[in-house]
A and B are shown apart, each in its own frame.
Chain A
């Protein structure tokens, strides 16, 4: 054939394997250097729907509110303790609804409590959610009715301790999966979630507490926002190529929204919120929205990384090569050599890929 077909001259039919990727799925920065089965995903996308990122948010808000209430009890800040306890009570009613409605068989929620498995963050989380829900409800009811104050305080302290786990275990729900952008961020995710939880709890308390009594809440907002945004930065840097989902499309928009809302909201709470309740409410609302956006960012990024086989294949290939290099041993599989120049059939075949690059 004509020399217009570069592939043929190499004895290789040129269907650009990254044609599939250029076609609506974002371009790769380097030449396509991985193979796949028709560009199809290798792992399954999670089946979780909108309830789950909202649960990450409300779970964080609830758990850290309980922790704030416990801290306030210990420090003797009764007004703040009361408001944080009641915030936790209100959110405690929301959490299980979100979690249960996401189940394929909601009526079987109690099967979660058939066993306790540390290998399953969802199992641990179900127990923590139940225990926290119980203690936070006791604390809240005691606060509302004024009855059994000692039990109320004890419950607050217990809910505070459980709340710290409630706010962070959710990070493991996503990191303890095969989803590349989640699993490879397993160290940073709990800190992002913890930061978001602290910022949310601080913001919520700053909204519902008089300015004069809300100083610790404002501090918690700032502390949380710094931890959340800082850990997210570290995560993206450490993810390297797997951070790509964070740089594109909806995920990128959500990420910038989270950054702007959290930073702006926390600043507003910290500076204007100490003088004006209205500013505290505004800043608090922005911070809460920011924390929600951050959870949605992470949630969606995981789906993007699950959907595209390159995020599964390339890091695994690199891992194998590193292992082979460090072993000084044979490469994996007899035909490894030249594999880079020899893309698989599959990578090319996203419909539009056919016929491209050979019509010359």
Chain B
């Protein structure tokens, strides 16, 4: 159980509404520095949650034929290939093995001497997942209340309530949610709500062979993540950084956060995600003024007009 002195990031309409039944907030810390790209998390997630198979498509994007998160993909392993000098500092360049093979072929045919000595490829892998935001736009825009915050502080879709309006789909700043074809409802990671209630860890975390995916109490995970990033930086991996761990970010911090070795957008993550409903005040104000303009117009047009 969480120590009382640790700051627990409060999530709106959460702790209070559960009273005594509230549980410590849980989340994922995905340490991509030790991800080996095995995709066991993708498979375990699909198996446990009965997520339908997706049509197989060859993307040519390294070993990633999954592409992105969606209604039928709740864990997605990204593969990024980069060329970096063998000393490690990442001022290296983009390239893929496919491109490299193509280059080698040209070099062989033309007889030009290659000069790649001292350089190597860096392969970044990262398992992406729903962030279970502190300020979750999907939950806030959901008109039916199908999306709700659990007693664990996670964000879950109630499938018996969702009517497939699709509002959460473009509201999510991470592009996590999508509507399932043929089903009509929106599906996403539940952080294995059914498992954690029974004291089990989520399927992806349990399947992860390197402990790149760590499940636990949120505050404890954050402490662990900070320790880890400090350690990596001290060891010379200057580019290591945490993503989604900061409660000061645009979503109030994520329940599922990451240790990355490059900028977030390289992994397909938004560099500065914002909960869209943060600007609701000015949006409703503008709508109110515009509605007032219609009312004023509909009255003004009668001024001095004969019947």
Where the two chains meet, the residues of A that have a C-beta atom closer than 8 Å to any C-beta of B are: 1-2, 7-8, 11-15, 17, 34-38, 40-48, 63-64, 67-68, 70-72, 74-78, 102-106, 108-109, 111-112, 114-115, 117-123, 126, 160-161, 163-165, 167-169, 171-173, 175-179, 182-183, 186-191, 193-194, 197-198, 201-202, 213, 215-217, 219-220, 223-224, 227, 302, 306, 309, 312-313, 316-317, 319-320, 332-336, 338-339, 342-349, 351, 354-355, 358-359
The total number of A-B Cβ pairs within 8 Å is 355
Set of chain B residues within 8 Å of A70, measured between Cβ atoms? 298
Set of chain A residues within 8 Å of B165, measured between Cβ atoms? 102-104, 112, 122
Besides A14-B93, A115-B143, A345-B80, 4 more A-B contacts (Cβ < 8 Å) are A37-B78, A42-B269, A120-B141, A320-B271
B283, A176: Cβ atoms closer than 8 Å: yes
Interface residue? B34 (CB, 8 A): no
Interface residue? B44 (CB, 8 A): no
In the complex the two chains form, what is the Cα distance from A68 to B233 in whole Å? 66
In the complex the two chains form, what is the Cα distance from A295 to B277 in whole Å? 22
Nearest residue in B to A68 (C-beta to C-beta)? B298
B91, A338: Cβ atoms closer than 8 Å: yes
Of B35-43, B168-176, B195-203, B214-222, the one contacting chain A is: B168-176
Task: Give 28 CB contacts A-B under 8 Å.
Answer: A12-B83, A37-B78, A38-B59, A38-B64, A40-B68, A43-B172, A44-B177, A48-B166, A71-B302, A75-B299, A103-B164, A104-B185, A120-B140, A120-B141, A164-B292, A171-B286, A178-B274, A190-B287, A194-B293, A227-B297, A312-B270, A313-B265, A334-B241, A335-B262, A344-B263, A345-B80, A345-B82, A346-B265
Set of chain B residues within 8 Å of A41, measured between Cβ atoms? 68, 175
Q: Decide: A186 near B170, CB < 8 A? Known: A213-B307, A215-B306, A335-B263.
A: no
CB proximity to A under 8 Å, residues B61-78? 61, 64, 67-68, 70, 78
Q: Mark B272-287, 1 if CB is under 8 A from A, else 0.
A: 1110110110111011
Q: Decide: A111 near B146, CB < 8 A? Known: A36-B265, A164-B295.
A: yes
Nearest residue in A to B98 (C-beta to C-beta)? A354
Set of chain B residues within 8 Å of A306, measured between Cβ atoms? 170
B95, A319: Cβ atoms closer than 8 Å: no
Which secondary structure characterizes the binding site on chain A? helix
In the complex the two chains form, what is the Cα distance from A179 to B175 in whole Å? 10
Interface centre among B93, B95, B295 (most CB of A within 10 A): B93
Nearest residue in A to B124 (C-beta to C-beta)? A345
Shortest beta-carbon distance from A276 to chain B in Å: 19
Interface size counted on chain B using CB atoms at 8 A: 103
B263, A172: Cβ atoms closer than 8 Å: no
A71, B301: Cβ atoms closer than 8 Å: yes
